Structures are given as C-alpha cells and as structure tokens.
Amino acid sequence: MRITKITSHVLQYDMPEELGYSQQFYSKRSAHLVEVRTDEGITGWGECFGPGNVAIANKAIVERVIAPMVVGSDPFDRERIWHHVYNLLRDHGQKGMPIQALSGVDIALWDIVGKATGLPLYKLVGGRCRDRIPVYGYGMMLKRHGDLAGAFADEAAGIEAEGFRAVKMKVGLGPREDIRLVEAVRSALSDSTRLMVDANHCYTTSDALQVGRALDALGVYWFEEPVAPEDRDGYRFLRDRLTVNISGGEAEFTRWGWRDLLAAGCVDIAQPEVCGLGGISEYLKVLALAHTHFVPVTNHVWGSAVAVAVNAHLLTAMPDVPGGLNPWSPMLEFDTTPNLFRDEMPTEPLKIVEQIGQNGGTMAVPDRPGIGVEPDIAFLERYAVT
C-alpha cells in the first residue's frame, strides 16, 4: 500500500456564546483534520492540536512541508515515516507547530492500519486493559459579565446531573476571586463528585501556592497547569508543598520534552496531548516514559470527534500502574460546552453523554476498525476555512 495524497481540513464556526480561559476569550471554534489517502482506496483521518490561525499555519506545514516527505511511503511504516519527518524538521522546530502538524499525519496512518487489518485502534496499541472508560465533564469557562460564582455553581450542578462523576472548572481572575469560584463550585457538587481546577498557566509560583493551599482545604483532586510549562522549578516547588495533585503537560512535545518534564519531577499526573506531542507513535513512548517514573497518565483531549475517539482507544489500552483490586484509573476529558465538530461531524455520532447518564459516568470502549470516526464530507465542506 502507498500513500497517494495528504490533505488538511481546517474547520471553523462562530460559537453561539463567547467562552474564556485564563489567557483569552474566544468566539470561534475550530478543528484541523488530516486526510491521508492510499492507492488501495483506504483513507485515514488524523487531527492536529492548535486552533484558529495556528491551524491555518499548520495546514501549510502538513501539505507543503510534510506531505512531500511522506507521499509514496507505505502507511504501515509509521516509525520510519515519523523519524524521517522529525529528522528533517529537527533544525526547524523540535517543539510546537511542526510537531502538531506531524501528529495529525501520524494519527491518520494508524487509522489506515486499523482499517486495513479490520482492528480497532486499541487492539493495535496493546489491547483492552479496561471494559469501560470513566469520563469527566469540563465546563465552567470564564465569561466577561455577570455573577460568575453563581453561574459556575449552576453549571457544575448541571454537569453532575447529566451523570458525570468528575468535573473540571477554569480559573484565571486572580487568586482571591479564583478561590471564591472554586468554593462556589465545590459546594454545588455532592461530596462524592471529584473536582479539578485548570489554571492554564496563569499564576506566579507564590500565587499558585496560595490558591493551591485553598484547593488542599477544599479537597480538589488536581490543580492543572498552575504555572508556565517552562517553569519546571515552579512545578517542583508546588509539588513539594501541596497535597493536591499537580497535573500538566498538554504543552509538552515528544519523548524528549517529556523525558525532561518527568525527570524533573514536575507532575503528579501527566496530561499528554496526542494530537500535539507527535501523534500516536510518539504518545506510546511518552506513556512508557511516564509509567517508567510511576507517574499516572490521563490524556489531555481537545477538538473534534477524531481526537475524542483516538483518546478513548488510548485510554482503553492503557495498563494500570501500579495496579491493584481498585487501581488508579485514567479519565476521558469531555468538553460539555457545545461542539459541532465532535457531535455532528461524524457520520455515526459517538453519543458519549447519552452513555454516561446510564452507566455511572463511563463510556463503552470503541469497536469499529481504526479510529472509528468517518467525517461527513458535506459537513467538512460547509465549515471549511478557505
């Protein structure tokens, strides 16, 4: 089998409501899918992390830089292709957009291999390690106006009422206001529901320590990206002083970036982003590195149904470390805000929310060959950025 063509599809629409996190407000939702065609009629789909104009730039990297290196190759030769591209791009970007672009291509190759062999992705990457996948609901995005604490409390109670057993909220107004927001959300949830807090790296180390002490008192499960991803000393400082799990890593790339993050002891919970760090081939190496350090992994998930399904496969195949009768379990990150690219783009919807209400906050493992998501071509054309 040979690869004949690689095409990027950058999709975008105006959201009904502006949403925010600690770095910015945004009013457009976007997605970047990669389509890899072969001479045997099998087409694979991948996805690149990176919204908006970043996706448009990554499209050029996929189609103008990476595609000429890859067209003509056998899609089963995933390691050869990955290293061929990485070695040629090393001088131009060992992190960031070239690696995000490579991620989408690599993921599409795995989809092709799954379709060619008739096997779901999780079977290709090690097989089934769990029967159902716990899902956590993230919401509570920042808004410019109104009573945010009250709105967050209502939204969190609504997510819990849908069946989620764990929820994640944003912060980013400053330490005092943020602690008030977390208190409001915590008191709106039942005691058994986990709460996680995502700062998107907005704090100085001392402000993060102040917030983290409040999170300790409130029994928060994890404190995500408290400080800048480059601030390894800050991460370690917080880990040494706080009980709450320090999580992060969505902005880290390749096994080499993760080697340094893990060796420096920065996180209690690793959150690799498969659509950014180098694709499935590289994710498997990062997972092995994290488990080598006995750091549990729960993937960062963002984007369309392709990204969500890839992560469902990866969590299905993730072994328990260190294991036990009631082992630590990863959770699938699920965005509870409206997302057409997840819910309406595939020809067969994933129907995750429908499942978790009836199954204790969990979803079934995917079973279709490859990633199991076929984008509706008319949908792609309707939302294409040209």
Q: Can you give the binding site for Ca ion, defined by CB under 5 A?
A: 198
The string of DSSP letters for 338-362 reads --HHHHTSBSS---HHHHHTTTTTE
**Active centre residues (catalytic):** 300
Question: Is the bond into 346 cis (omega within 30 degrees of 0)?
Answer: no
Nearer to Ca ion, 111 or 198 (CB): 198
Which residue's CB comes closest to Ca ion?
Answer: 198
At its nearest, how many Å lie between Ca ion and the CB of residue 200?
A: 6
Contacts 24+ apart (CB under 8 A), 180-186: 180/149, 181/140, 181/148, 181/149, 181/152, 182/214, 182/215, 182/218, 182/220, 183/149, 183/214, 183/218, 184/149, 184/150, 184/152, 184/153, 185/140, 185/152, 185/153, 185/156, 186/218, 186/219, 186/220
Cβ atoms of residues 100 and 86 within 8 Å: no
Closer Cβ to Ca ion, 155 or 225, answer by number: 225
Distance CA 20, CA 26 (A): 6
Question: CA 79 to CA 120: how far, in whole Å?
Answer: 19
Instruction: Please state the closest distance from residue 159 (CB atom) to Ca ion, in A.
Output: 16
23 or 87: CB nearest Ca ion: 23
d(CA 73, CA 66): 12
**Shortest separation between residue 211's beta carbon and Ca ion, angstroms:** 15
Give me the least distance between CB of 273 and Ca ion, in Å please.
Answer: 9
Nearer to Ca ion, 197 or 209 (CB): 197
Number of H helices and E strands in the chain, helices first, is 16, 11
Amino acid letter, residue 273: E
What is the distance between the alpha carbons of residues 250 and 271, in angstroms, rounded to a whole number?
A: 6
Angle between helices 78-89 and 280-292 in degrees, nearest 10: 90
Both tokens of 247, joined, read 């999580």
Minimum separation from the CB atom of position 2 to Ca ion (A): 38
Nearer to Ca ion by C-beta: 35 or 198? 198
Is beta strand 269-270 parallel, antiparallel or unpaired with respect to 332-335?
unpaired
Minimum gap (Å) between residue 208 Cβ and Ca ion: 15
